[in-house]
Chain A
Amino acid sequence: MEKLLKIADFLLEAAKADGADCAQCTVLESETREFNVDGGDFSLMRTLFDRYISLTVLKDHRPGSVVVNRFDEASLLSAARDCVAAAESAEPDEAREFAPGPADESFTLGAPEPDTHALFSRTAELMKDVADRHPKLLMEQLIAAHTRTKKVYRNTNGVTYRTLSGEYGVSLTYSAHDGDDSTSMYGGSLSLTDLSRPFIEGSLIDREMAEVEAQLGAEPVNGKFTGTALFAPGCLAGDVFGQVVENFASDTPLIDGTSLWKDKLGEKVADERITLSISPRDPRIVGGQRYTGEGYPAEDFDVIRDGVLTGFRLSQYAANKTGLPRSGSTSSVLIAKPGDTPLADIIAGIENGVYLMRFSGGHPSANGEFSGVAKNGFLIENGKLGKPLTETMISGNLSDMLLHLRAVSRETLEDGSTVMPYMAFDGVTVSGK
């Protein structure tokens, strides 16, 4: 860590010597060990020795940034010079600033030391478990890796953070096959700090594989109807709440004024059963965020609390631009409060709708309109999961949908990156052939 601090100091001093008024930098070293499975067979083992330096300077309120990955003195001097030159090419913008000091914190996160042989064994075990439990699944790709990272953040205001972290990551892409019939591909992932349990027992992995196997023989919905969309947790996190935050509650739509929620802080924007937080420090999250890109300590906060908009995800820069408060974090780690209804009861209460594990659609429009294909899904009719679906589209409006919540499950996905229940929303248009 001391080596990284020295590099950071050298770089900050060089930037100031070149004319920067203030500066911040991140210096990182990492080692990754990774196993790959392709088309159902082990294919590759990788060992990566990586480095990264990011430097941002302000000169006369003009910002410039460089990214390099060489630690030698000549490269560092060149990076500082290029960064200041980049700033000199910019227009002044007084909204730019770095976190004030002093601050000095050290973090140790996850499992910094890898057990490469155990990682291989768990990966091989997963392949066997899949073959035994889900014989119709074909693993298009499986990547199992451990990354150990040493990282230093330092700025010229006297803020220093040191992070030593390590985590195991497993990502899966698979589909089910029976003769010429096949399902849509599905992907799952896990972030872990230890290898104490078989991967197939992680979060919803086994359940998701069983659901995908049951999707063989898919058919389109007949015609078009307005009904209920039941989102699986991974889909809810990325394609619903992730897009809600991007579209309505983050830097870009608030700076350019296109957010539908720009004047709704403190107002009801969702059903009162919805509480959505950005919580990178939650103990169920692996890694997360301990400080923001501008050097402020990261804190968990609610975007929506009991249906009321309580916070935007804003950097200090966006806060200065908009007059809105900076958020505790700029992370993308989303956690939604679960309900107390079993998933089976939610399905039993749906007359007409679809259950989807994945959504294939474009970015929603600035006004929240979305449409796309319901993937890895089933029709729900009269309280029962029906036929698996293909070529079935759903459409609606994100901001309207949040106000038409039908139910929240007590079951959650906890994969190390999010904690998310199932949610069902009414008023969604479903169309097929």
Chain B
Amino acid sequence: MLSDILTPQKALFPDGAHTELRGQLNRTRRVVLLAGNLIQNTRSDVSGVSARVYKNGVYGFSSMAEYSPEAAQAVLKAAAENALFMDEHVRPGKPQLPPVGSSMTAPEAALADGAQSLYTDFARAVDDRVRSRYKNVVSRRIVVYEDSMEKLLRVSQGADFHIAAPRSYCYVFLTAETPAGIPVELFTVAGGSGVFADNFSDPAAMDVLTDQLYDELMAKREGVYADAGEKTVILGGMMTGMLSHEAVGHTVEADIVLGGSVAAHNLGKRVASDKVTMTDFAHTAFGAPCPLPVYADDEGTPARDVTLIRDGILTGYMNSRASGLHYGMEPRGNARAWLFSDEPLIRMRNTAIHPGTDRLEDMIASVDDGYLLLRSGNGQADTTGEFMFGVTMGYEIKRGKLGRALLDTTVSGVAFEMLKTVDMVSDTVTWASSGFCGKKQPMSVGMGGPALRCRITIGGR
């Protein structure tokens, strides 16, 4: 636990400037078994303190890999000097940041730490089960990890807080061969917010997921290439989450808008069919806790939801305090930093398209010739909204029924065009939270959504 050595340093905050002082600990535990070989068995504990000072439209920042009063004083001094250097050399002449609320409620900060055997034993047990249960697998990889952030923030104006955010996961990757001897791979992941010991007590509980994964892998090894071109598809909830995050979410981060994203010209305009509403949720969504709840950001702004698209109309951006000032929008807690040595950047939290009223079975039955796309390995998007997602698991749909599985393929499109083709939205949201969003720094984020029927370009041969 970080002790509060920062509050007394508030007396040293420079006058006439907004100041943030943050102590932070990032803890990572990671075990990787490749074909039964332990190729990674690592514990990481990285902590320190940073300060950021805003003066007339520019920031100075400094960090030190030491958590002590002396380090806090040193980074405050260096950050103030850097802000002064920038102000003198750039002369931006912008006003002070408007105030934000200072009231927030978050669960008590606590990070229970487990011995490394907690992770290695679990990984080995899952590996043993996978090896014994699935005969037609040529390779397997088990990844067990936990990463946790503990933050203590003191600001000249806004919410001071002390929070902890642990998350933990178990990945299983399986590889099989097609009849022609070509390797095909799939993975599944379990876990979410919380420390490992709370999320994973019984390796056998992974069987439900890995059984499904194996069945899909066996179907995939007999799979076919998709027929390339623009098709009617049903994106599963995980794919919709990827779309929400990569193709829409990044383009409506206000710093990316300022950098020229497609959203700069579309505020208040139709960017999707009226069946599409999308929100960046802070800590609670659809009446339940978000996968990775955020209660306040690293600028001291209490976290609230941001409605990005309502009934197909682009309604807002995600902001920091500085971008909120620029756009005349209210910051709602999106400025987050990954390590103590990172400055807060505008990041998504739990970004999702809202559920509709359609049943997935009816959606499949409605497609005469198309695809059901279920799993994605990765995705990328452009500031133009042009996106690409790898599809690792999907099926043909022929005359309303599922057909053969697909080999790996890719879907692409332009988000604000493709979303206008959405004409059915399922009633169930699927969330994912295990990956990292990359943008100068990594960040843990949640993403989710229902199944969508839409038109999309699919790659093939």
- Chain B residues near A184 (CB-CB < 8 A): 382-384, 386
Q: Judging by beta carbons under 8 Å apart, are A68 and B46 in contact? A: yes
Given contacts A47-B62, A69-B48, A375-B382, are A82 and B116 in contact (CB under 8 A)? yes
B17 to chain A, nearest CB (A): 14
Query: Of A45, A65, A68, A141, which one neighbours B85 at CB under 8 angstroms?
Result: A45
Roughly how many angstroms separate A68 CA and B26 CA in the complex, as a whole number?
10
- Chain A residues near B59 (CB-CB < 8 A): 43-45
Roughly how many angstroms separate A44 CA and B175 CA in the complex, as a whole number?
46
Say yes or no for A26: interface residue by CB 8 A criterion. Answer: no
- Chain B residues near A360 (CB-CB < 8 A): 380, 382, 386, 388, 412
Roughly how many angstroms separate A185 CA and B439 CA in the complex, as a whole number?
14
Residue of B nearest to A315 (CB): B39
Query: Of B40, B175, B461, which one neighbours A258 at CB under 8 angstroms?
Result: B175
- Chain B residues near A90 (CB-CB < 8 A): 38, 41, 120
Say yes or no for A371: interface residue by CB 8 A criterion. Answer: yes
Say yes or no for B341: interface residue by CB 8 A criterion. Answer: yes
Q: Judging by beta carbons under 8 Å apart, are A362 and B382 in contact? A: no
Q: Judging by beta carbons under 8 Å apart, are A256 and B139 in contact? A: yes
- Chain A residues near B83 (CB-CB < 8 A): 45
Roughly how many angstroms separate A88 CA and B256 CA in the complex, as a whole number?
47
Q: Judging by beta carbons under 8 Å apart, are A47 and B82 in contact? A: yes
Given contacts A42-B58, A362-B408, A367-B182, are A65 and B256 in contact (CB under 8 A)? no
Residue of B nearest to A63 (CB): B41
- Chain A residues near B35 (CB-CB < 8 A): 255-257
Produce 1/0 per residue, B31-47, CB < 8 A to A: 00011011111111111
- Chain A residues near B382 (CB-CB < 8 A): 184-185, 360, 375
Say yes or no for B162: interface residue by CB 8 A criterion. Answer: no
Q: Judging by beta carbons under 8 Å apart, are B65 and A69 in contact? A: yes
Say yes or no for B115: interface residue by CB 8 A criterion. Answer: yes
Produce 1/0 per residue, B376-404, CB < 8 A to A: 01111011101011100000000000000
- Chain B residues near A391 (CB-CB < 8 A): 386, 412-414, 457
Roughly how many angstroms separate A167 CA and B383 CA in the complex, as a whole number?
30
Roughly how many angstroms separate A371 CA and B199 CA in the complex, as a whole number?
36
Given contacts A66-B44, A67-B43, A393-B457, are A45 and B60 in contact (CB under 8 A)? yes
A41 to chain B, nearest CB (A): 7
Q: Judging by beta carbons under 8 Å apart, are A39 and B65 in contact? A: no
Chain B residues 98 to 141 lying within 8 A of chain A, measured CB to CB, are 115-117, 119-121, 124, 138-139, 141
Q: Judging by beta carbons under 8 Å apart, are B115 and A140 in contact? A: no
Query: Of A63, A183, A185, which one neighbours B38 at CB under 8 angstroms?
Result: A63
Say yes or no for A382: interface residue by CB 8 A criterion. Answer: no
Roughly how many angstroms separate A40 CA and B326 CA in the complex, as a whole number?
14
- Chain B residues near A138 (CB-CB < 8 A): 259-260
Say yes or no for A85: interface residue by CB 8 A criterion. Answer: yes
Query: Of B116, B341, B383, B412, which one neighbours A89 at CB under 8 angstroms?
Result: B116
Say yes or no for B299: interface residue by CB 8 A criterion. Answer: no
Residue of B nearest to A38 (CB): B255
Given contacts A65-B43, A89-B41, are A393 and B256 in contact (CB under 8 A)? no
- Stretch of A172-180, A330-338, A405-413 lying at the B interface: A172-180
Say yes or no for B319: interface residue by CB 8 A criterion. Answer: no
Produce 1/0 per residue, A359-393, CB < 8 A to B: 01111011101011101000000000000001101
Roughly how many angstroms separate A63 CA and B62 CA in the complex, as a whole number?
36
Q: Judging by beta carbons under 8 Å apart, are A51 and B65 in contact? A: yes
Say yes or no for B203: interface residue by CB 8 A criterion. Answer: no
Interface size class of A (residues with CB under 8 A): 35 or more
Interface size class of B (residues with CB under 8 A): 35 or more
- Chain A residues near B265 (CB-CB < 8 A): 180
- Chain A residues near B183 (CB-CB < 8 A): 258, 365-367
B210 to chain A, nearest CB (A): 17
Say yes or no for A48: interface residue by CB 8 A criterion. Answer: yes
B407 to chain A, nearest CB (A): 7
Say yes or no for B86: interface residue by CB 8 A criterion. Answer: yes
Say yes or no for A429: interface residue by CB 8 A criterion. Answer: yes
Q: Judging by beta carbons under 8 Å apart, are B184 and A140 in contact? A: no
A279 to chain B, nearest CB (A): 26
Roughly how many angstroms separate A183 CA and B259 CA in the complex, as a whole number?
12
Q: Judging by beta carbons under 8 Å apart, are B34 and A258 in contact? A: no
Chain B residues 140 to 191 lying within 8 A of chain A, measured CB to CB, are 141, 175, 182-185
Q: Judging by beta carbons under 8 Å apart, are B62 and A38 in contact? A: no
Say yes or no for B280: interface residue by CB 8 A criterion. Answer: no
Q: Judging by beta carbons under 8 Å apart, are B410 and A362 in contact? A: yes
- Chain B residues near A48 (CB-CB < 8 A): 62-63, 341
Produce 1/0 per residue, A43-74, CB < 8 A to B: 11111111110000000000111111110000
Say yes or no for A182: interface residue by CB 8 A criterion. Answer: yes
Given contacts A85-B116, A360-B380, A372-B388, are A67 and B61 in contact (CB under 8 A)? no
Q: Judging by beta carbons under 8 Å apart, are A45 and B42 in contact? A: no
B12 to chain A, nearest CB (A): 17
Say yes or no for B90: interface residue by CB 8 A criterion. Answer: yes
- Chain B residues near A67 (CB-CB < 8 A): 28, 42-46
Roughly how many angstroms separate A183 CA and B260 CA in the complex, as a whole number?
10
Say yes or no for A292: interface residue by CB 8 A criterion. Answer: no
Say yes or no for B230: interface residue by CB 8 A criterion. Answer: yes
- Chain B residues near A83 (CB-CB < 8 A): 43
A365 to chain B, nearest CB (A): 5
Residue of B38, B382, B389 most packed against chain A (CB within 10 A): B382
- Chain A residues near B435 (CB-CB < 8 A): none
- Chain A residues near B86 (CB-CB < 8 A): 42, 44-45
Query: Of A70, A361, A369, which one neighbours B66 at CB under 8 angstroms?
Result: A70
A315 to chain B, nearest CB (A): 10
Query: Of A41, A49, A70, A182, which one neighbours B92 at CB under 8 angstroms?
Result: A41
A26 to chain B, nearest CB (A): 13
Roughly how many angstroms separate A153 CA and B138 CA in the complex, as a whole number?
37
- Chain A residues near B440 (CB-CB < 8 A): 141, 143
Say yes or no for A86: interface residue by CB 8 A criterion. Answer: yes
Q: Judging by beta carbons under 8 Å apart, are B410 and A185 in contact? A: no
A56 to chain B, nearest CB (A): 9
Roughly how many angstroms separate A201 CA and B381 CA in the complex, as a whole number?
29
Roughly how many angstroms separate A180 CA and B382 CA in the complex, as a whole number?
15
Residue of B nearest to A32 (CB): B341
Say yes or no for A87: interface residue by CB 8 A criterion. Answer: yes
Chain B residues 391 to 436 lying within 8 A of chain A, measured CB to CB, are 407-410, 412-414
Given contacts A67-B42, A366-B183, are A89 and B259 in contact (CB under 8 A)? no
- Chain A residues near B28 (CB-CB < 8 A): 67
B25 to chain A, nearest CB (A): 10
- Chain A residues near B228 (CB-CB < 8 A): 224, 393, 395, 429, 431
Produce 1/0 per residue, B75-103, CB < 8 A to A: 00011001101100110100000000000
Query: Of B119, B139, B184, which one neighbours A257 at CB under 8 angstroms?
Result: B139
- Chain B residues near A141 (CB-CB < 8 A): 259, 440
A396 to chain B, nearest CB (A): 9
- Chain A residues near B389 (CB-CB < 8 A): 362
Residue of B43, B58, B258, B265 most packed against chain A (CB within 10 A): B43
10 A–B pairs (Cβ distance < 8 Å), ordered by A: A70-B65, A89-B117, A182-B384, A258-B175, A258-B183, A360-B386, A361-B410, A365-B183, A371-B460, A390-B384
A→B interface (CB under 8 Å): 38-52, 63-70, 82-83, 85-91, 93, 95, 120, 124, 138-141, 143, 173, 175, 177, 180, 182-185, 224, 251-252, 255-258, 317, 321, 360-363, 365-367, 369, 371-373, 375, 390-391, 393, 395, 429, 431, 433
Known: A85-B117, A257-B35; 7 extra A-B contacts, CB below 8 A, are: A45-B85, A51-B65, A66-B43, A69-B45, A140-B259, A371-B459, A375-B382
B→A interface (CB under 8 Å): 28, 34-35, 37-48, 58-66, 74, 78-79, 82-83, 85-86, 89-90, 92, 115-117, 119-121, 124, 138-139, 141, 175, 182-185, 228-230, 255-256, 258-260, 262, 265, 322, 341, 343, 377-380, 382-384, 386, 388-390, 407-410, 412-414, 440, 457, 459-461
